[in-house]
Amino acid sequence: MAQNQQFSTFFLDKFMFGVELEKVQEVIRYLEITEIPLAPRVVSGLMNLRGQIITGIDLRRRLELPDRPEEMHAMNVVIRSADGAVSLLVDEIGDVVEVNEDSFERPPETLQGKVREVILGVHKLDKQLMHVLNTEKICETAETVAAGVTP
C-alpha cells in the first residue's frame, strides 16, 4: 500500500501547485510588503509577520510565469525553510488535498530550463494536475539569483 501524502495547494495563473503540508507554517491573506531596492526580481520584499520579518518570494516570477495583474492582491503561503520563514506569494489559496503516491509522475523530459529544478513532478488529480514544488530549491535558487544580480 503506497503512502498517502497531504499537500497544501494554491493557484498561479490557472495552474495548480502544491507543497507538502508539514512545510507550511501558515497561510495569510494579505500583508503589507516593503520592496527592497536592488533585490532580485523574484524577491518581492519584506513583510512583518507578527514582529518577525520574513522575505516574500514572488512565485510567479520564480516559475517564470507572467506577472500578476496589478489589481490582484497576492496571498501568502508561509513556509518553513532552513533560514527561517519565507513567504511564497501566490494568486489564490486552494484546499488541502490528500494524494496517493501512485498518482505521482516525474515531469516530462520536455520540461526544460530553470523551472525544472523546482518542480519535482505532478500528481494527477481528477480535475487537473497538481505541480509539486521543491520548497528548498525555491529558497535556494533565489539566493544564487540574488548573487548574480548584485550590482
Residues engaged in binding another protein (CB under 8 A): 32, 34-40, 43, 45-48, 51-55, 57, 83-84, 86, 139, 142-143, 146-151
Residue 28 is placed in which grid cell?
495569510
CB of 135 to another protein, least distance (A): 13
Structural contact between residues 79 and 23, judged by C-beta atoms closer than 8 angstroms: yes
CB of 109 to another protein, least distance (A): 30
**Secondary structure letter of residue 51 according to DSSP:** T
CB of 81 to another protein, least distance (A): 8
Q: Which is nearer to another protein, 18 or 40 (CB)?
A: 40
DSSP string across 9-44: EEEETTEEEEEEGGGEEEEES---EE--TT--TTEE
Contacts of 63 (CB under 8 A, 6+ apart): 12, 115, 118, 119
Q: Which is nearer to another protein, 9 or 81 (CB)?
A: 81
CB of 82 to another protein, least distance (A): 8
CB of 95 to another protein, least distance (A): 29
Q: Which is nearer to another protein, 40 or 99 (CB)?
A: 40
**CA 95, 61, 141 angle in degrees (round to 5)?**
95
Q: Taking the CB of residue 16, how many other CB atoms lie within 10 A of it?
A: 20
Residue whose grid cell is 501568502:
76
Q: Which is nearer to another protein, 41 or 106 (CB)?
A: 41
Q: Which is nearer to another protein, 46 or 75 (CB)?
A: 46
